[in-house]
Amino acid sequence: MSNLLDIARAEIGYLEKASPAELDSKTANAGSGNFTKYWRDVFPNYQGQPWCDCFVSWCFLMAYGKAGADALLCGGLLSFYTPVSASNYKAARRWSFYPEVGAQIFFKNSVRIYHTGIVESYTDTTVTTIEGNTDTGEGVIANGGGVWRKTYQRKDPRIAGYGCPTFKEEKMIYTTPAKWISQVRKAYLYGHNNCHYGDSHGTPPCSDGFMSCDRMIALAAYNTGWRDQPAGGITVLNMEAYLLKWGWSKITKQADLQKGDIVLMKSTGTDRPTAAWHTFALTAYDPATKTCSKYDAGSEARLRASQPFTGVPLNEWGTTKSFYCGFRCPEKKSLGKYEISTAEVRQSSEGSHVKLMQILLRGRGYKGKDGKLLQRDGIAGTNTIYALKKFQAAHSLPETGICDRKTWAKLSGRKTTDA
């Protein structure tokens, strides 16, 4: 992530150009034509269009390469319309109302999401960004013509939310629902035996002996391996962004909850986290009756009670709190034998197997005859077959332009089975 921020910072002061000349100079040929090196390097056909989203894509492209950037941006490397980019994060369950360093911030007006940038840093009250196609004036300025550092109040109503990439510079940590519940139980017993209750803003992992609902989660996570927690540990204020960063899946439907999930309850009438929000860990959930079994701190009396609580309503607080979301721990998937369809792909073939082939070719850096990244449209046109032949030649396969069983095996790197 530090490399991403270094790349973005180095661009501060870059001015868009009046024409497609001097694109690599920060200040030469400055104008209002929306011509930039960012469009040239990412998608030249869009040269001359507003470029705030393209600037974000360019920074990720420079830091992580094509395949890495596309994955981190949830398939949005070539999505330069800010509402679509935001939707990609939401569809991937990587959308948050809490900032994270390296996240993509989105701004809205009365019509739609319309501007974006990269979060450089944040405090309890402010968020600092690096944005393309803005200027140094106060507030959100779209189509401003340069790359600049900006600072906003965290509560600025124009901030729509944040897309949170899964940075993997840290070693990925996995667990299972059973192991996670075991750690939550230990955290609960720690607080129960110490007979203390306090807020969530001391130094993690609860070294002062106090325990609250979110500190129970913080301590369990710390003991599982997530030890880079912000000051105060994982709290209801930063929980969403932190867990998404580490690959936890966001559960948006209450009916989809299951054993091992963390539940985040919001205060009625609030859409963004406040200290009055609440959290706990499920050991069971019955969507038919909307009752659950859970470990829950919440108050000193609750902390000292015998747990897990069983057969209690998920929402015990009536009209004061309601379900916001859940989080499911990242589990390491068994490698086993991965299977893909070996249905042949040839000129004019269409379907999901064609799209899979295009994705794999793109990920390996193969381009079409036009020199551009392949479209993932599921149609084997001229550019797709051209890239396929290039791949076959590079791997000593017959240059047939037909993706057969042997080509699938080389392309996927896994065992295949007949369709």
**SS3 state at 412:** helix
pLDDT, tens digit, 9 for 90 and up, residues 159-190: 999 998 877 545 678 899 999 999 999 989 98
Average pLDDT in the chain: 86
Q: For 393, phi and psi rounded to 5 degrees?
A: -65, -40
CA pseudo-torsion sign 155, 156, 157, 161: negative
Which one-letter DSSP state was computed for residue 373? B
342: pLDDT confidence band, cut at 50, 70 and 90? low
Cβ atoms < 10 Å from Cβ of 2 = 11
- Cβ neighbours of residue 98 closer than 8 Å, sequence gap 6 or more: 162, 237, 238, 239, 240, 241, 272, 273
CATH of 2-163, one of 3.20.20, 3.40.1350, 3.90.1720, 3.30.1600: 3.90.1720
Q: Tokens in use for 215?
A: 């500190």
Q: What whole-number percentage of the chain has pLDDT above 90?
A: 49
Q: Which secondary-structure segment (H or E) carries 161?
A: strand 159-163
pLDDT, tens digit, 9 for 90 and up, residues 393-412: 999 999 999 998 889 888 87
pLDDT of residue 166: 72
Average pLDDT over residues 103-110: 94
Q: How far are the Cα atoms of 60, 147, 173, 213, 254 from residue 7, in angstroms, in the given order?
A: 9, 12, 27, 39, 40
pLDDT, tens digit, 9 for 90 and up, residues 30-73: 998 999 999 998 888 889 999 999 999 999 988 888 877 877 88
CATH of 352-412, one of 3.40.50, 1.10.101, 1.20.930, 2.70.98: 1.10.101
Cβ atoms < 10 Å from Cβ of 353 = 20
First-last CA distance in the chain: 40
Q: CA-to-CA distance for 115 and 105, rounded, in angstroms? A: 8
Q: Domain limits of the chain?
A: 2-163, 177-328, 352-412
pLDDT, tens digit, 9 for 90 and up, residues 62-106: 888 887 787 788 877 777 889 999 998 888 878 888 888 899 999
Q: Kindly report the CA angle at 135 between 130 and 137, in degrees rounded to 5?
A: 105
Q: Which secondary-structure segment (H or E) carries 69?
A: helix 52-72
Q: CA-to-CA distance for 297 and 309, rounded, in angstroms? A: 11
Q: Burial, 216: exposed, middle or buried (Cβ in 10 Å; 0-12, 13-18, 19+)?
A: buried
Q: How far are the Cα atoms of 7, 40, 58, 149, 306 from residue 14, in angstroms, in the given order?
A: 12, 15, 13, 11, 61
